[in-house]
Amino acid sequence: MKAWRWHGSGDMRLETAPDPTLQPHEALVRVEALGVCGSDIHYYRDGRIGENIVSEPTVLGHEYAGIVESVGADADPDLCGKRVAVEPGIPCGDCEWCRRGQYNVCDRLFFPGGPGNDGALCEYMAVDSRFCFPVPPGMSAGVAAMVEPAAVAVHTAELARLRPGDTVAVFGLGVVGMLTMQAVRLSGALSVFGIDVLDYRVNKAPVFGADAAFLGHIGGIHDGGAASVEWVMEHTNGRGVDVGIDCTNSSDGLALACAVTRAAGNVVLTGISGAESDTLPVSIARRRELTLRWCRRFLHNYPAAIALIDAGKLDVQSLITHVYPFEKADEAFALTTAYADNVFKASVEW
């Protein structure tokens, strides 16, 4: 089969790869669409996310959907012929965390498109059939691939433990940030404020659930980011929001989310800076007795994400701003890395 392999910073090559071998519990998925994710860009540009380092040619990509062409002897035969959204993280099922139901933090989790594991920017994937979720008839492959970031947003809203009438600030208005604003609305948020450093994202924020949005500046709470904190405080009469959410790719996002959250409020940290360690404003978090929760992708959220998309409650279609054929997947990665042409989601479809 054909596959795009990463060979170094910005170096993607279309090559031939072995066809996958199907295990008894697996489904063979003919990949139809793949979304370029922010974490893909960390690997594409830097070859690493913190301590996770890609050191050899690797097929990137984990947001994908496709048609099940065949299944192994132990898999559900009813999957054959169906379009599925694939939950990419496959846990071991045996460790303490899996037995507790927290499979998303399994320490033996297989995750495609990272160190030692080829991803889905290829023609076929063999995947545990239990993580193949059929989508409703009429849902396109591109939208089905967007179930992955939608599930992240749904899990983020769960972790926020929202109550009806809560106020929320979301830092970082990329795809996950825009979906998170929609998800917190569905969870009872009364007022949602969005902050980003790119003007085209700020301009679009009201379409995806923001009551108001602010064009901030790169920096922490004592430099460029201070204006963002002041803006949120002005919009909440100095109180701060009930929930602060970091959906940025910056080391500053964590501190800014803490700085705008009221005493005894909740902070959810969903963004990935790419650094091995980030600065936490412990004095603010301690004095305000903030509850901080880190989001590790998703946890049993695919069925809800699919249902919300199908019902029109989560708008993912509008976030797919660019579509590339498989043969030009490298251009999709380059565009997303450069934040060019007002890109939100670049979808590779074949």
Angle, helix 329-337 to helix 38-46, in steps of 10 degrees: 90
List the Cα angle 85/103/183 in 5-degree steps: 55
pLDDT (tens, 9 = 90+) of the chain, 350 residues, equals: 999 999 999 999 999 999 999 999 999 999 999 999 999 999 999 999 999 999 899 999 999 999 999 999 999 999 999 999 999 999 999 999 999 999 999 999 999 999 999 999 999 999 999 999 999 999 999 999 999 999 999 999 999 999 999 999 999 999 999 999 999 999 999 999 999 999 999 999 999 999 999 999 988 888 889 999 999 999 999 999 999 999 999 999 999 999 999 999 999 999 998 888 898 899 999 999 999 999 999 999 999 999 999 999 999 999 999 999 999 999 999 999 999 999 999 999 99
- 171 and 46, same structural domain? no
- 283 and 187, same structural domain? yes
C-beta separation of 83 from 139 below 8 A: yes
- 142 and 9, same structural domain? yes
Residue 345, both tokens: 């989601």
- 156 and 142, same structural domain? no
Per DSSP, the residues of 64-77 read EEEEEEEE-TTS-G
Q: Which domain holds residue 92?
A: 2-146+316-349
Q: Is the pTM here over 0.85, yes or no?
A: yes
Count of the separate structural domains present in the chain: 2
Q: Which residues contact 265 (CB under 8 A, 6 or more apart)?
A: 240, 241, 242, 243, 244, 288, 290, 291
C-beta separation of 141 from 83 below 8 A: yes
* C-alpha pair distances (Å), 188 with each of 38, 143, 192, 243: 27, 25, 10, 12
- 176 and 95, same structural domain? no
Q: Which is it for the CA torsion 313, 62, 157, 230, positive or negative?
A: negative
